[in-house]
Amino acid sequence: MRVDPLAQTACPLQEEEAAPRLALAGIAKSFPGVRALHDVSLSLYPGQVTALIGENGAGKSTLVKIMTGIYQPDTGTISIDGQVVTLPSAHAAFGHGVTAIHQETVLFDDLTVAENIFLGHAPRTRLGLIDWRTMRKDAREVLDTMHAGHIDADARLKDLGIANKHLVAVARAMSIDARIVIMDEPTAALSMKEIEELFLLIEFLKEEGKAILFISHKFDEIYRIADRYTVFRDGEMVGKGLIKDAGQSQIVRMMVGRSVDHIFPQRKAEIGAPVLTVSGLSHPTEFRDIGFELNKGEILGFYGLVGAGRSEVMQAISGITRISGGTITLEGKAIAPKSAADSIDAGIVYVPEERGKQGVVIGLPIFQNVSLPSLKRTSKSGLLRLAEEFSLARSYTERLDLRASSLSQDVGTLSGGNQQKIVIAKWLATAPKVIILDEPTKGIDIGSKAAVHGFMAELVAQGLSVIMVSSELPEILGMSDRVIVMREGLVAAVYENKDLDAETLVRTAAGIAA
């Protein structure tokens, strides 16, 4: 469709020293109205990690679903060890030794660890019945070989932490003797320490001779663990090669098709008087004695490990979670929001972290999503006024540079980055005084990220106050005026963002003494 000069220079197809374990060639897949993949190819080699890189909507997830038998390609071939195969179902993919460890760990919370590992291939007794004793024993063995003997094979999965769930998923891959392991953003919800453990595990899988596909947005991880890379853009393969031969900026250019500077926007917002004062905020089990001030025109960063209680505090301030004590004062007036509706009325909005679950209402068109929190203003004594809704939706979606064919389009048909724009637009449209953004750029592409950051700078310049919960250090350091670090439900420290370094933040968040 379009000749990419970068792609040609980036893949001087060298002779490969080993035959690929899995090779995809000429794969295409379309959905009604969307061309997800066009003539892509991908090779995975035994004992090597291949990183699949691309912006959201580049077609990575579709490819994973094709490799795991969930989707069927329209054209193209899949070969394993040189043999052309078809994968008509997940079960078939399973049979060929393909297994995926997914973005949202797809395991079974109410089943035991052993069952999660052996579901679908449990050891049987001579009568064909499930042999629970052997299953438990085998599960313990697999976990032991992975140096994960601390996990109880009889524990219910829901009682494990996210990192241990990953270990179980890997154990499952080991138990089916998977030869091809797909890891789809496995580090998204992990803390630094857990990521290190995962990397040890990946090294282990490499030594076992597995062919690994590693999908991640994080370049430091890719450079740390991958041997090869393949870059997708808009459903096409635009480059591939050995990681050691490629520079970071080169790959970024391939991803976005243009160079992107990582510079965060310059801000000249006047920081004014306190707008929001929180003191002694407590919850029976999740956080205690949280106190801070947010000033007019300020971006206040909240850093911490995943599970430090940051989102819980924010949800309490916005009335979604009940508190057991403490006060919230907005512009000198004490407020006690009992629901999101109360806090929106007061002028505090919370833009949630989980876009699909908490953010957009899939099934409703764009304009109805945007107007949902503002229905009081767009309707008159309870009666809808569509013209008002459309103009509200238009003004905010155009400011955020939304790509859509019409405002009556179902949000479910939009890409992740565009859905995130809707999510921000809908809460901004309520004209709040304080906006709380929870992981505003999690899992979105570099282009959309820059748009969101630029927009935040615009907001504070207009006198809004922003709280930004983020687990990404560059974002925290690049955007915040001050940073609050939380650890295990408590405020660990407050820093002015002057000469603040990443190491200090990480140490405080992890509770390691300097």
State which of positions 56-95 bind other proteins (CB under 8 A).
Answer: 68, 70, 89-91, 93-94
Strands (E), 97-253: 98-101, 180-184, 211-215, 228-233, 236-242
- How far apart are alpha carbons 275 and 329 in whole angstroms? 8
Chain centroid to CA 99: how far? 20
Tokens representing 488 are: 């295990």
| Among candidate residues 513, 514, 475, the one with its CA nearest the CA of residue 497 | 475
Nearest to other proteins of 225, 323 (CB atom): 323
- For other proteins, the binding residues in 431-470 under the rule CB under 8 A are none
Which of 17, 285, 334, 514 forms a contact with other proteins (CB under 8 A)?
285
Nearer to other proteins, 224 or 394 (CB): 394
State the minimum distance, in angstroms, from the CB of residue 358 to other proteins. 5
For 466, the token pair is 């922003």
Nearer to other proteins, 248 or 395 (CB): 395
Sheet of strand 34-44, all strands in order from the earlier edge strand to the far edge: 34-44, 22-31, 75-80, 83-85
Q: Which of 373, 190, 250 is nearest to 170 (CA)?
A: 190
Neighbouring CB atoms inside 10 A of 472's CB total 16
Please, what is the minimum distance in Å from the beta carbon of residue 87 to other proteins? 11
One residue of 138, 312, 475, 481 binding other proteins per CB under 8 A: 312
- Binders of other proteins: how many residues, by CB under 8 A? 86
Residue range at the interface with other proteins (CB under 8 A); choices 9-17, 45-53, 266-274, 286-294: 286-294
Q: Is residue 367 at the binding interface for other proteins, with CB under 8 A as the rule?
A: yes
The interface with other proteins within residues 406-425 (CB under 8 A) comprises 406-408
3-class SS of residue 381: coil
Q: Sign of dihedral through CA atoms 296, 451, 429, 336?
A: negative
Token match 């690929």: residue?
Answer: 20
Q: Is 513 in the site for other proteins (CB under 8 A)?
A: no
Local structure of 23: helix, strand or coil: strand
To the nearest whole angstrom, how small is the minimum distance from the Cβ of residue 316 to other proteins?
12
CA distance 254 to 10: 9
396 lies in the site for other proteins, by CB under 8 A: no
Q: Is residue 488 within the footprint of other proteins (CB under 8 A)?
A: yes
Query: How far is Cα 412 from Cα 150, in angstroms, rounded to an integer?
Result: 41
CB of 108 to other proteins, least distance (A): 4
Shortest distance in whole angstroms from residue 324 CB to other proteins: 11
- Of 376-395, binders to other proteins (CB under 8 A) are 376, 378-379, 382-384, 390, 394
Q: CB 341 → other proteins: shortest distance, Å?
A: 4
Instruction: Tell me the DSSP string of 390-411.
Output: HHHHHHHHHHTT---S-TTSBG
Min CB(359)–other proteins separation in Å: 6
Report 160-219 residues binding other proteins (CB under 8 A): none
Q: Does 253 bind other proteins (CB under 8 A)?
A: no
Piece in contact with other proteins (CB under 8 A), picked from 223-231, 238-246, 358-366, 472-480: 358-366
Q: How far is the CB of 365 from other proteins (least distance, A)?
A: 8
Q: What is the C-alpha separation between 225 and 227, in angstroms, rounded?
A: 7
Q: Is 375 in the site for other proteins (CB under 8 A)?
A: yes
In this chain, which of 368, 420, 448, 470 binds other proteins, going by CB under 8 A?
368
Which of 271, 316, 262 is closest to 497 using CA atoms? 271
